Amino acid sequence: MTSGPELPHPARDEIALTQVLFALSDPDRLAIVRQLAGGPLEMKACTPGETARAKSTRSHLFKVLREAGVLRSVPQGRGRLLTLRRADLEARFPGLLQAVLDGAD
């Protein structure tokens, strides 16, 4: 019934600033976050930067973002649905996400 594995997410107040900043400090991961800014996306449809990556590498990129509390990753069908944790991030670090999304490269 439940599809893929339920993976752990930090609670709102467990989200740590340095960990979030680190997660966002990689070009591929930042590209992912910017794609998600437009709304939830299926993981298969969410492609990191230019260069192709092995699927295990992709999985790792999402893992870092998930464990930092930047996004939520829930099973959906045979895949996963990714959502930016906007409200949680905004509550804890007001303006941060917006600044990162709007800022230059």
Q: Which residues bind DNA (CB under 7 A)?
A: 1-5, 7, 22, 26, 28, 42-44, 52-64, 73, 75, 77-80
Rounded-to-integer distance, Cα 92 and Cα 90, Å: 5
Q: Which stretch binds its own copies (CB under 8 A): 19-27, 40-48, 53-61, 79-87?
A: 19-27
102 binds its own copies (CB under 8 A): yes
Q: Nearest to residue 24, comparing CAs of 70, 67, 57, 58?
A: 70
- Amino acid making up residue 95: G
Strand partners, 80: 75
Task: Kindly list the residues in this chain that would bind its own copies in the complex (CB under 8 A).
Answer: 16-19, 21-22, 24-27, 30, 92-96, 98-100, 102-105
